[in-house]
Amino acid sequence: MKLHGEVRLLEPGSRGQGHRSRAWAIEATPDVMIRLKRIFPRANGRRSGAITLGDTPDVARDIEWVLERWPMQVKAEHRERLLERARQHRRTEEAVEAILSGDAPHLDYVAELARPARDYQLVAADLALTTGRLLLTDDLGLGKTMSGLLLLRDPRALPALVVCPTHLPQQWADELALTLPFLRPHIVRTLEPYDPARHRSMHGHDPDVLIMPYSKLRGWGDALAGRVRTVIFDEAQELRRTDSAKYTAAATVADGAQFRVGLTATPIYNYGGEIYNVMSVIAPDALGGKQEFGREWCANEGWSDKASVA
């Protein structure tokens, strides 16, 4: 069987790559590389002919298809990783289809709700818990806060961080008490990080849900990185600008979280291009690379924060 190239799994920081996480490298014959660069416009390419792609389930699924079309050399352990990630993508895809079609029962947990939830709110929570990422754009008055709180029924989602506008932390704490009264909330009121368990209101207990306004997030980014399993961004359009310490802190915390959720009725606040920044925190690579997004969606066929979406 003719082999058209090689597929390798790169570890973080591999020589000459500079990845912060695992990535796939594909080197192939020139004719195949031309086709691959069309198939993977988000890929980082070099003149040497190699391209690199993030190690995500959807990428693994695509590479699996590529290997059927153009067989390549793959180390056994790398192939095993690739196939497992592709299977993970299939499982998630099937689960999402079942949730959206209504064929799947709502996820069931030990935690009981103190007040009933609407079916569409349960669907939103099920999607977030199944995929690990969700931008919920329900209209005002449909209960996006409740949808976000429903994630916290699952012990896997705790501890959690809720980031919201300055006037809403107490409202989130009140809603949590009405819905999941057995969870311990704590509202952050200072920019300087501290141990919440040592706060007089916590009596030595770690909070299940940390609630803070966006104005305090920039001081807590490093302190919370890898410490929370869920991060919920209320009014997620606050993440539309990348040139702020608030955005950097949000991305830092989200990178270490298993579940990321954005809640907003106005995902596009000013310029259409800002949605790319919002999604880069909640679901990195969901919209491809910046230049790819610009070519595909922006009216001027280029990327900028102020691009208009065609």
Q: What is the mean pLDDT of residues 26-30?
A: 94
CA dihedral 217, 219, 225, 230 (to 10 degrees): -20
User: Residue 17: pLDDT band by 50, 70, 90 thresholds?
Assistant: very low
More confident residue, 143 or 273: 143
pLDDT in tens, 171-190: 999 999 999 999 999 999 99
Q: What number is the average pLDDT over the span 210-218? A: 96
What pLDDT does residue 170 have?
Answer: 97
How do the domains of the chain map onto residue ranges?
A: 5-94, 110-267
| H-helix or E-strand spanning residue 5 | strand 5-10
pLDDT at 45 over 80: no
CA quadruple 165, 238, 185, 178: dihedral positive or negative?
positive
Q: What is the DSSP string of 74-94?
A: E-HHHHHHHHHHHHHHHHHHH
pLDDT at residue 16 is higher than 50: no
Tell me how many helices (H) and strands (E) the chain has: 11, 11
pLDDT at 25: 93
Query: Residue 207 carries which side chain, given as an amino acid letter?
Result: P
Segment 199-220 shows an average pLDDT of 91
Residues 6+ apart with CB under 8 A from 240: 269, 270, 274, 275, 277, 278, 305
Q: Which two tokens stand for residue 191?
A: 């920019």
| Domain 110-267 listed as CATH 1.10.10.10 | no
Residue 113, pLDDT above cutoff 70: yes
Rounded to whole angstroms, the Cα distance separating 274 from 295 reads 15
Can you tell me the distance from the alpha carbon of 32 to that of 87, in angstroms, rounded to the nearest whole number?
25
Which phi and psi (to 5°) does residue 51 adopt? -125, 155
Residue 251 pLDDT: 96
For 269, the token pair is: 């606040």
> 259: helix, coil or strand?
strand
Mean pLDDT of the chain: 88
Q: What residue type is 120 in one-letter code?
A: Y
Instruction: Give the mean model confidence (pLDDT) for residues 152-165.
Output: 95
Interstrand relation of 51-54 and 160-164 (parallel, antiparallel or unpaired)? unpaired
Q: Is the confidence at residue 266, as pLDDT, over 80?
A: yes
Give exposure, 136-157, as e/b (b: 16+ Cβ within 10 Å).
beeeeebbbbbbbbbbbbbeeb
Per-residue pLDDT band at 216 (split at 50, 70, 90)? very high
